[in-house]
Amino acid sequence: MIRHICMFTLKEDKAANAAEFVLRAQSLRAIPSVRAFSVVTNDPATPKTNYDVSLIIDFDDVAGLTAYQVSPEHVAFGQFVGTIRIDRACIDYAF
């Protein structure tokens, strides 16, 4: 199994951007290679230096991750995220 974790720092109006991120991220659930899916937001009581939102997605293997990355749903989501993000961090690991 491969776990894909991407974290994002969002532009100003973070609450609205985070809400839209979570809403639009739901489309990623439909990608056939996705085995488990979570989209989470940082708790407001935690440090402001934390990332604002994160995707945590599991795949059977790297081929499934690759299929996800080129899927129309992910490409469209990525285009949207590019308009609201300041920074991104990502890790893909076997577990």
User: CA 90, CA 69: separation in Å to the nearest integer?
Assistant: 13
Query: Domain range spanning residue 28?
Result: 2-94
- CATH code (residue 36): 3.30.70.100
pLDDT in tens, the chain (95 residues): 999 999 999 999 999 999 999 999 999 999 999 999 999 999 999 999 999 999 999 999 999 999 999 999 999 999 999 999 999 999 999 99
**For the chain, how many structural domains are there in total?**
1
Residue 43's pLDDT is: 95
User: CA 59, CA 44: separation in Å to the nearest integer?
Assistant: 30
Residue 88's pLDDT is: 98
Give the single-character DSSP code of 52. S
Residue 78's alpha-carbon distances to 22, 46, 48, 73, in angstroms, are: 13, 26, 24, 9
Residue 94's pLDDT is: 98
